[in-house]
A and B are shown apart, each in its own frame.
Chain A
Amino acid sequence: MEKGSIPVYLITIMVVMLILIGEIIVFTSSQDDFSSDVTIEDDTLTYSLEGKGSYTYDVVSLNGSLGSPSEVFVYYDPGYGSMVNQVSVSTGAMALDQGYYVEQMSPTLKVRGITNVKIVDAEELGTIMANPGYGKAVVILSGAIPDTVYDGMSESVILDWIETGGRLYWAGNVIGQYIAHKGSVEEVECGQSIFLGAECINTEDTRGEEVIDNGFRDVLYLQNNLLRFAPDLSLLPEDSVCVVMGYTDGSCNSITSLSVGKGSVCIFGGDYSSRQRIDLAQVIASGVGPETELVEYATGVMNHSINGTIGKADAVYVVLGGFFPVYCRLHEVVE
């Protein structure tokens, strides 16, 4: 072999090795590479995290958490009408339509420990909501609620379901304003009042430029600051119980979680975006609801493992990777 060619052969071997090793990593990496545990120790909680590399970590203790939903149902029925705005995406990316958004929910939640995700059509949603909602979550991204659960009246099945403890996560348009029928959409007068008790939804395309300083934006790494379709807090009934998260313009907030009966309605501002989807998954997985309070949080950089203690609370949410999450888990603390 010619001497001058040896480095080129070495370069070739290195490039091929990079490709092959990378391929193996792509197809063998899994959530099993990470683990976390939380135990009660006197008046504190002890946490331990393990992972295969070096990551930022956040351990958050929460009171009033809704806990992990037993099942997550994502509504999607192409046969039914929907009311969402088309959004632009960067060149080369898949168009962010309702079908792709829904399809993306399952893997986005999986990284956060939620694996029981099911896409349901209008009929199936009707069946699900005919039963009590406690512990279950429904995600509606269609901008219009199917007529199998909603007729524009306060006695609708969907409201009964929420009041029995169901969690409704909403994004894409004004909540309650549209009923989806097969192939069409019907507008409802004062539909948002049915869910929120007031006509309070912002329909302007605004953004939150301030971070809401209750800590949730930082510990949940919330990203979306769009406020269209978000409720104006000042217009909500005075007795509303809610928590807001993310970004604000002073009156509207990027995420608003409201108490409705024993259940909750959580509204995500803005038209479709990847950031909104990530925030949606993060809020579902962390179990943050209208009465959740952040007790304490620990943060830093973990190299393969870390142990520590944190203030006692109902639940502990763990995030590895920060804005680039590789592992998130909710631990419910049971004494």
Chain B
Amino acid sequence: VNLFKEDRFFCKGMILVIILGIVIRLVLGTVLKFNGDSYSWALIISNVEAGSGLYDVSGYNYSPVWGYILSAFAQLMPLIGVGEWGTLIPELLVFEPEQLAFATSVEFNFAITCLFTAADLAVAYLAYWIVKELTGDTIKAKIAFAVYLLAIHVIIISTAGAMFDSFSALLTLLCVFFLYKNNYVCAGAMFAAAALLKLFPAFLIFILVAYLIQKDALKWKRNLACAAVGAIMMSAVIMVPNIIDGHLMDSMSFIISRATSNEGIVALLMKYSSVIAYLIIISLEVVLAVHYFKKKDSSERTFVWYLFISIMIILLYPGTPQYVILLAPFLVMAAVVYDRRFVRPLLLTMVCTSMFALSSIDIQLASLAEYTDFMSVNSLVDFIRAYDDSGLFYVIGGIGGVGQYISIIWSLIIALEDTGFKIPKILGKRSPQETSE
């Protein structure tokens, strides 16, 4: 805390945190990379540069936003010195799934990590800005920045995980920022971009609309219309060229084709269980928005609190490690601003999400084995075999996945208690008003 005492943002402590955050990411991200995803990013860039767009050739299963970001960033790759993007390691073809036989080059890994690091820095800054606005306390704001930037699970997802959920969190926080600033067109635009990047932020629409109505009882229709205009404009900019090109269904395949893996009864059960789960989640989101609306409290503090609960509700359907990145800045803010009881679930999610993401550590070493002298490909093959035989993948992944889910439920229980819902007093109770002072 002493390191953060200076008023200015770039104090000694913050410089140290920023340097640490960047260096740890660049080192880890260069040597450790989940090759299934980094291979996909290289494939998408090559398809775009070859003139095949995002959807002409198979390989890209998301809406266009991430493809656009990757394509723009790829223009910088030659400047970073990326020549070779990756290779196929024949020795790994014996393992399933076969796309894991690819290893992206360390230069490519470094470049893509730069992109994710930039997104993490931006998210950390927004967490800083929001905490400062909510509390007026620069030290708390700096702590939020530092905790987010150095949170091990955020680091692992942005480096070894190679997933772009930090952009999803960034766009959601930008939406919150513009709501603060009463710039509803931009807020709507950011919301649309976030929802089109990854579906989860779309579920926040209920709480966002409730806040808009609550915030200005006289002008809410105008404000809502402005937000809708922003959202429509952004959606049009992102989607219309794809619709004209006949790729609407392709760009929606991340929603509609989640269970086309032809795995029989398991896929069918997953398909219907997820549909039912998300219908329940939507219902809960509506209930939460109504509860918030009835509270008649338009303060930003209460809005961010409900937004935090809203995100936890989305995550009630168990997901992969990267899904919690959307929650991460809010959980950090909750621990710093609202209730210190969130520190424990925050620590639990840091450890367990990292374990979950690193459970495939064996194949995350492929780039290291192929492109450096630290490890040979034969050693990697031996390690993968030993790792598979030991069952550690299931142990680490299982503990990590369950722990991650427990941390979400734990946070949700605390949040609901603090909101006034009657939850059995298994965790001890303290009101947000008491702890926020």
Q: Hey, which bits of chain A sit against chain B, CB under 8 A?
A: 4-5, 7-8, 11-12, 15-23, 25-27, 29-33, 52-56, 86-96, 100, 104, 107-108, 110-111, 207-211, 217, 221, 223, 225, 247, 273-275, 301-303, 321-327
Contact B49 A326 (CB under 8 A): yes
A302 to B85, CA, bound (A): 12
A7 to B8, CA, bound (A): 14
Residues of B near A25 (CB, < 8 A) are 48, 68, 71-72, 74-75
A91 contact from B43, B84, B258, Cβ within 8 A: B258
Nearest CB on B from A187, distance (A): 24
Q: A94-B253, A322-B84 are in contact. Are A26 and B67 (CB under 8 A)?
A: yes
A90 to B237, CA, bound (A): 29
Nearest CB on A from B207, distance (A): 21
Nearest CB on B from A112, distance (A): 9
A31 to B52, CA, bound (A): 9
Residues of B near A16 (CB, < 8 A) are 189
Closest to B59 in A: A274
One of B14-22, B124-132, B333-341, B345-353 at the interface: B124-132
- Cβ of B50 under 8 Å from chain A: yes
Residues of B near A18 (CB, < 8 A) are 68-69, 72-73
Task: Please tell me the number of chain B residues within 8 Å of chain A, measured between CB atoms.
Answer: 76
Contact B77 A5 (CB under 8 A): no
A33 to B122, CA, bound (A): 33
Contact B126 A26 (CB under 8 A): no
Contact B258 A4 (CB under 8 A): no
Nearest CB on A from B102, distance (A): 7
Q: How many A-B residue pairs have CB under 8 A?
A: 204
Nearest CB on A from B166, distance (A): 11
Additional A-B contact list (20), CB under 8 Å, known A11-B170, A323-B87: A4-B129, A5-B181, A8-B126, A18-B72, A23-B71, A23-B241, A25-B74, A29-B50, A52-B49, A53-B78, A90-B99, A91-B258, A93-B61, A94-B61, A107-B57, A303-B78, A321-B50, A323-B86, A324-B86, A326-B49
Contact A326 B129 (CB under 8 A): no
Closest to B138 in A: A4
Residues of B near A273 (CB, < 8 A) are 98
Residues of A near B181 (CB, < 8 A) are 5
Residues of B near A322 (CB, < 8 A) are 84-87
Contact B64 A26 (CB under 8 A): yes
- Cβ of B372 under 8 Å from chain A: no
Contact B261 A53 (CB under 8 A): no
A15 contact from B50, B83, B174, Cβ within 8 A: B174
A90 to B99, CA, bound (A): 10
By CB atoms of chain B within 10 A, which of A32, A92, A210, A321 has the most? Answer: A92
Q: Is the interface of B mostly helix, strand, loop or mixed?
A: helix
Closest to B320 in A: A91
A92 contact from B56, B64, B86, B253, Cβ within 8 A: B253
Contact A211 B90 (CB under 8 A): yes
- Cβ of B371 under 8 Å from chain A: no
A7 to B126, CA, bound (A): 9
Contact B49 A22 (CB under 8 A): no
- Cβ of B65 under 8 Å from chain A: yes
A211 to B58, CA, bound (A): 26
A139 to B217, CA, bound (A): 66
Nearest CB on A from B261, distance (A): 5
Residues of B near A223 (CB, < 8 A) are 88
Nearest CB on B from A208, distance (A): 8
A19 to B67, CA, bound (A): 9
Q: A8-B125, A31-B51, A110-B52 are in contact. Are A21 and B88 (CB under 8 A)?
A: no
- Cβ of B428 under 8 Å from chain A: no
Contact A324 B53 (CB under 8 A): no
Residues of B near A90 (CB, < 8 A) are 36, 61, 97, 99, 261
Nearest CB on A from B117, distance (A): 14
Contact B46 A325 (CB under 8 A): yes
Contact B46 A92 (CB under 8 A): no
* Subset of 17 A-B contacts with CB under 8 Å: A5-B129, A11-B170, A15-B171, A16-B189, A20-B237, A23-B237, A25-B75, A29-B50, A33-B49, A92-B253, A92-B254, A94-B260, A95-B262, A104-B58, A223-B88, A301-B84, A324-B86
